[in-house]
Amino acid sequence: MSIDNSRSDKTRVRSIDALRGFDMFWIMGIGSVVVQVAAIEGTPFWTGLAAQFEHPYWNGFTLWDMIFPLFMFLSGISSPFSIDNQLKNGRSRKQILWKVIRRGLILILLGIIYNTKGIELRPLSDYRYASVLGKIGASYIFANIIYLYARPKAQAMWYWVLLIGYWLLLKFTSAPGYPPGNLTEAGNFASYFDRIILPGRLSRDIHDTVGLLCTITGVSTTLLGVITGNFLKKYPMSPIKKVFWFSIGGLGLILLGLLWGLDFPINKNLLMFRS
């Protein structure tokens, strides 16, 4: 989903376009080609590479687990350029807000249609309401609302409040019959929340891989993109300096994630969503 159509070629950031192209390259299914080559070749190199295009069932992550979060991050990066350009051209915040909500709701609806394999009417219990498209749409809505109505410092605060709040929620809650902080598929609170709140069917009997509560981290991922895009837009600097500061920031977040993982394991089922 492109959200920067209103930008002229003069204001485009080539690095964003290049990274978006890289992400779309894998979304289009190139990973399946790698898996097929591995099945034919059977060498350790191709087998190991193909393993990066399979989702771990529970804890852990692979390259394939990063594709959709990267897409959401990129949609967030584009927001400051698109929204600021619309404001400059005379659109009100209210007009932009309704446009954002409309786009997000369309994605949510398309996700339900995709999961149901069609648009024919069925019993409500036959629908699967949670979807990757729906999660992208909901995260896009909330992250852009924060950008529209919050200052940069407040946006950063929202980012950390969402992440830390979600961690604390899962750390001190659980499904009935399990101790607080249980992060198993059956025992974690996010899966339990989906079982009692989500109508229709889940992707698994006791857990949905794109459940409701992981929208919280979806919003934070998109919001991180917003913060990054705002930094790119408002603090012009040489390419070398950009590479330096974003490398420092990226390495810092990786280190923080690894340390945080000692208490809160990296698990895309709980921290984000998986297709």
DSSP letters, 94-114, are HHHHHHHHHHHHHHHHHHHHH
- CB distance 225 to 154 below 8 Å: no
Max CA-CA distance within the chain? Answer: 59
Q: What is the pTM of this model?
A: 0.85
Q: How many Å apart are CA 23 and CA 73, to the nearest integer?
A: 11
**Per-run averaged pLDDT (10 residues), the chain, 275 residues:** 46 80 86 87 88 85 87 92 92 94 93 77 73 90 95 94 95 94 92 85 80 91 93 84 89 92 86 62
pLDDT in tens, 51-96: 888 888 888 888 888 888 899 999 999 999 999 999 999 999 999 9
Collapse the DSSP code of 239 into the 3-class scheme (helix H, G, I; strand E, B; otherwise coil) and give the result.
helix
DSSP single-letter state for residue 180: T
Q: How many Å apart are CA 218 and CA 163, to the nearest integer?
A: 10
CA angle 74, 58, 194 (to 5 degrees): 80
